């Protein structure tokens, strides 16, 4: 019986949801509406913010899917930066030229991409080191092409909703 229960448990996958919002009133003056407490490191012995610590704790639990973080639109870039800081992302690299060509192909753009030849080196290389989060078992699950397609679909759907 115990073995059966254990086998069944291994087939259960839970999607953790991290609710990340608020108005920044409870820990004022530390937190603000644009930067509530979950984006702060409140423990001097912990280098991570509350949302980072929550994410990292969840990644240590077996049978959990990657956490879904829900936040308001104004804080989405703060959340993205907080996840980048703990190396949530892929270590896959692609040049801007290759990325532009890939996106062009996906959206069916057949025009010319014009490059600013006065800046031939572009932005410095920004390869993500995700060894920190990989060490606790995380790995990226969305292929770049799939991610681009999903992003474009989301954008198109949002634009349709705005004008319908």
163 and 124 within one domain: yes
78 and 7 within one domain: yes
Q: Decide which of 69, 86, 103 is a domain's last residue.
A: 86
* Domain hosting residue 160, numbered range: 93-164
Helix or strand holding residue 18 (H, E): strand 17-20
10 and 78 within one domain: yes
- Give the residues of the chain that fall short of pLDDT 70: 1-13, 24, 87, 89-92, 120-139
pLDDT of residue 78: 83
Sequence-separated (6 or more) residues with CB below 8 Å from residue 8? none
Number of domains in the chain: 2
pLDDT of residue 58: 85
Q: Are 66 and 138 in contact (CB under 8 A)?
A: yes
158 and 118 within one domain: yes
Can you tell me the distance from the alpha carbon of 41 to that of 59, in angstroms, rounded to the nearest whole number?
Answer: 19
pLDDT of residue 4: 43
77 and 128 within one domain: no
129 burial type by CB count under 10 A (0-12 exposed, 13-18 middle, 19+ buried): exposed
* Per-residue model confidence as pLDDT tens digits over 90-115: 666 777 788 889 999 999 999 999 88
pLDDT of residue 111: 93
DSSP for 59-105, please give it: HTSTTBPPPEEEE-GGGHHHHHHHHHHTT-S------HHHHHHHHHH
């Amino acid at each position: 019986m115990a073995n059966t229960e254990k086998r069944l448990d291994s087939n259960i996958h839970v999607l953790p949801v991290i609710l990340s919002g608020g108005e920044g009133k409870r820990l004022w003056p530390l937190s603000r509406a644009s930067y509530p407490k979950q984006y702060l490191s409140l423990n001097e012995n912990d280098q991570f913010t509350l949302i980072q610590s929550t994410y990292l704790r969840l990644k240590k639990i077996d049978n959990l899917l990657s956490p879904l973080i829900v936040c308001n639109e104004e804080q989405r870039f703060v959340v993205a930066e907080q996840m980048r800081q703990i190396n949530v992302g892929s270590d896959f690299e692609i040049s801007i030229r290759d990325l532009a060509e890939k996106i062009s192909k996906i959206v069916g753009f057949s025009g010319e991409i014009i490059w600013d030849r006065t800046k031939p080196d572009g932005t410095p290389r920004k390869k993500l080191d995700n060894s920190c989060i990989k060490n606790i078992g995380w790995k990226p699950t969305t292929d770049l092409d799939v991610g681009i397609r999903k992003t474009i679909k989301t954008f198109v759907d949002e634009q349709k909703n705005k004008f319908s």
